[in-house]
Amino acid sequence: MASPPPTIAKRADFLAANRGKRFVTPGFILLIRAREPDAPMRAGYTVTKKVGNSVVRSRLKRRLREVVRLGLADHGHAGADHVLIGRNAGLTRDFTDMQADLAKACARLRA
């Protein structure tokens, strides 16, 4: 069973990721910021109030965490921060499609 990557907790790290590369998918926006090559891969999750109330936002964050847990080890960038910003479609989008979106986004941003 794959373990989740360390979580980004500081606001400054989220703001720094916002200055990095981005890829938009129907369910989320992926931001990637390169750090030191030997640094651990980290992930952060955010969902704005525009998506819904706290129950809805929490459900979307749980879905994003699971997508990252299952796919980031294989497709993520080593030594980088990955921030997923949840979108409305992420609530109803098929989970396998979201996993494919993560793989596609990571591959596109690698190039």
pLDDT tens digit sequence for 20-46: 999 999 999 999 999 988 899 999 999
- Dist. CA 62–CA 50, nearest whole Å: 17
Residue 94's region, left for phi above 0, alpha for psi from -120 to 50, else beta, is beta
Is residue 99 within a helix (H) or strand (E), and if so which, with residue range? helix 95-110
pLDDT tens digit sequence for 71-91: 998 998 999 999 999 999 999
Domain boundaries, the chain: 11-110
Multiple choice CATH, 11-110, 3.30.360.10, 3.30.230.10, 3.90.380.10, 3.90.550.10 = 3.30.230.10
Type of residue found at 74: D
Please tell me the predicted confidence (pLDDT) of residue 1: 64
Nearest to 80 by CA among 6, 10, 24: 6
